[in-house]
Amino acid sequence: MALQCGIVGLPNVGKSTLFNCLSNAKAQAANFPFCTIEPNVGVITVPDERLTKLAELVHPGRIVPTTVEIVDIAGLVKGASKGEGLGNKFLANIRETDAILHVLRCFDDENVTHVDGSVDPVRDKEIIDTELQLKDLETIESRIQKVQKQAQTGGDKAAKQTYEVLVRYKEALEQGKSARTVQFESKDEQKIAKELFLLTSKPVMYVCNVDEASAVNGNKYVEMVREAVKEENAEILVVAAKTEADIAELETYEDRQMFLQEAGLEESGVNRLIKAAYKLLDLETFITAGEMEVKAWTYRKGWKAPQCAGVIHTDFEKGFIRAEVIKYEDYIQYGSEAAVKEAGKMGIEGKEYVVQDGDIMHFRFNV
């Protein structure tokens, strides 16, 4: 289930500072691990307070959180769609990711130069959007050339549908809109759209990198971004990367918590960012809890019980009989699996059960 979020942004917006904070184990909750696959790919633990709470009741041998992959993608410059700078590599790297974290500079600092000479997050966002849109337009136009004839002359229904999807995307992109602003009604159209793998159709979250004073409530730059993306079906997160770097330097979990309280923050921006990235990828967590371990498992939102069983082992899915399900709140309230059963709060679910985030699962199977 290796799904990746790519961090993008212009040079000097705080992208790498943020990536380094994410990839610094100390920046995580208590003692969770981090490892780098390649210089720019980090496997990052998803902070989940539920695991700690369950562990206090179950006393397992270990806690195993779930993870998400974050990729630091080289800074983009104007003309990337034509191969300027590391343009081609940049675009190939984005194509491989499942969602985009777009870092925007929302702070003033005379010591940090800006490639375009002034701080304007909306302009910066548009530079990257334009490059990605141009690349998508190129993709769409070459596909239109291939299917246009079939769609307009023969009775090929699939070609006709594909052509219609392509034309709708082309119109949006030519107006400077991203592909994610186009919604399709039918399942067939959605499938065609998905298989185009357009860069601007990926879910995006704008990460506004602010100064320390704006970490809690944002600033005028953040408001500019909010206004600019309101049509876009995108999330916004406010983070002070420099403050996060200071937090990452602190040795103990207690020190980090104290620092956060003094800054008026409930949890670190890094934790919020990881959780948001996980959600952006449409991922949720079910949990298994036993004496050996309390473990978080990742699944795609909307999956049914057998699919989730398959995340643990393919045999579980093949021979699925039923799932025993305890809601997290019930487990905490009653304090143990036995007490939950006694209270009649354990659900016995079949193949059609749609798993919910935080479900504590036990699968029965027969192979």
User: Among the three residues 280, 314, 344, which one is the final residue of a domain in this structure?
Assistant: 280
In order of 4, 80, 177, the CA distances from 76 in angstroms are 19, 7, 19
**Does residue 215 sit in the same domain as residue 103?**
yes
Q: What is the pLDDT of residue 68?
A: 86
Q: Determine the structural domain holding residue 252 and report its residue range.
A: 4-114+203-280
Q: Summarize pLDDT for 27-39 with one digit per residue, the tens.
A: 343 334 444 445 5
**Does residue 104 sit in the same domain as residue 9?**
yes
Q: Summarize pLDDT for 283-292 with one digit per residue, the tens.
A: 999 999 999 9
**Does residue 107 sit in the same domain as residue 151?**
no
Portion of the chain with pLDDT greater than 90, in percent: 52
User: Among the three residues 247, 280, 313, which one is the final residue of a domain in this structure?
Assistant: 280
| Mean pLDDT, residues 291-309 | 95
**Does residue 23 sit in the same domain as residue 79?**
yes
Q: What is the pLDDT of residue 32?
A: 40
**Does residue 179 sit in the same domain as residue 234?**
no
Q: Summarize pLDDT for 153-172 with one digit per residue, the tens.
A: 777 888 889 999 999 999 99
| CA–CA dist 364, 62 (Å, integer) | 23
- Please indicate whether residue 367 or residue 285 has the higher confidence score (pLDDT): 285
96 has a pLDDT exceeding 90:
no
Q: Per the structure, how many domains does the chain have?
A: 3
| Mean pLDDT, residues 340-367 | 96
- Joined tokens for residue 45: 């633990």
Average pLDDT, the chain: 87
**Does residue 195 sit in the same domain as residue 229?**
no
**Does residue 192 sit in the same domain as residue 229?**
no
**Does residue 186 sit in the same domain as residue 210?**
no
Dmax (CA) for the chain in angstroms is 70
Q: Which CATH number goes with the domain that contains 61?
A: 3.40.50.300
pLDDT band at 26 (very low <50, low <70, confident <90, very high): very low
Angle between helices 269-280 and 15-22 (to 10 degrees): 90
Phi/psi for 305 (5° steps) reads -50, -45
Q: What is the pLDDT of residue 193?
A: 93
Q: What is the pLDDT of residue 37?
A: 47
pLDDT band at 22 (very low <50, low <70, confident <90, very high): confident
Q: Summarize pLDDT for 38-95 with one digit per residue, the tens.
A: 557 888 888 899 999 999 999 999 999 988 888 888 766 666 556 655 556 667 788 8
Looking only at the bridges linking them, the beta strands covering 67-72 and 235-239 are unpaired
Residues that constitute the known binding site for ATP: 12-17
DSSP bridge partners of 103:
207
Residues that constitute the known binding site: 12-17
Q: Which of 85, 179, 109 is nearest to 140 (CA)?
A: 179
Q: What is the pLDDT of residue 343?
A: 96
pLDDT band at 149 (very low <50, low <70, confident <90, very high): confident
| Mean pLDDT, residues 175-195 | 91
- Please indicate whether residue 254 or residue 24 has the higher confidence score (pLDDT): 254
* Burial class of residue 248, CB neighbours in 10 A (0-12, 13-18, 19+): buried
| CA–CA dist 192, 30 (Å, integer) | 44
The answer as to whether 285 is a domain residue is: no
- Three-state DSSP state, 237: strand
The answer as to whether 24 is a domain residue is: yes
